């Protein structure tokens, strides 16, 4: 999946960068994570250079708002605010709802 934009309450437009990770702790698990950034010119400019957007220093990027991990899509998730800024609990719920909608609507995957 490619990065995509969503707009949540208060007209906050966010860049969502999907990633997935396969690991095993006694059984195979596929975890989907979505890094969350505020949409601004510098973040959008880095879309063509994903290595710069996803670099280890993203925690120092003021537009980075953390990530959401879906362990069981639509059921079990966690939000980790490991950047300089974070989403409110209501914003997290809005982001989860939008990501679920995106995941369940493959027609939206063509950007």
> Along the chain (111 residues), what's the average pLDDT of each consecutive run of 10 residues?
82 84 55 82 61 59 87 79 89 90 73 51
First to last CA, the chain: 10
Domain parsing of the chain, residue ranges: 4-109
Look-up of token digits 């510098």: 42
- Cβ–Cβ under 8 Å, residues 62 and 85: yes
pLDDT value at residue 75: 75
The three-state secondary structure class of 88 is coil
Q: Which residues have CB under 8 Å from 99's CB, separation 6+?
A: 6, 16, 34, 68, 70
What per-residue confidence (pLDDT) applies to 95? 93
**Prediction pTM value:** 0.74
Determine the pLDDT at residue 71: 75
| Res 24: pLDDT | 57
Q: Which two tokens stand for residue 108?
A: 């939206």
Looking at residue 65, its pLDDT comes to: 92
Residue 88: the pLDDT is 93
Return the exposure string of 71-101: e unless at least 16 CB atoms fall within 10 Å of the residue's CB, then b.
Answer: eeeeeebebeeebeebbeeebbebbbebbee
């Amino acid at each position: 999946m490619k990065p995509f934009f969503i707009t949540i309450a208060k007209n906050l437009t966010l860049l969502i960068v999907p990633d997935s990770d396969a690991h095993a702790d006694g059984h195979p698990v596929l975890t989907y994570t979505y890094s969350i950034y505020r949409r601004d010119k510098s973040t959008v400019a880095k879309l063509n250079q994903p290595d710069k957007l996803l670099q280890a220093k993203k925690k120092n990027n003021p537009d980075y708002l953390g990530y959401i991990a879906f362990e069981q899509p639509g059921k079990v998730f966690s939000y980790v605010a490991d950047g300089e800024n974070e989403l409110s609990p209501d914003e997290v719920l809005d982001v989860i709802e939008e990501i679920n909608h995106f995941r369940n609507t493959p027609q939206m995957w063509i950007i």
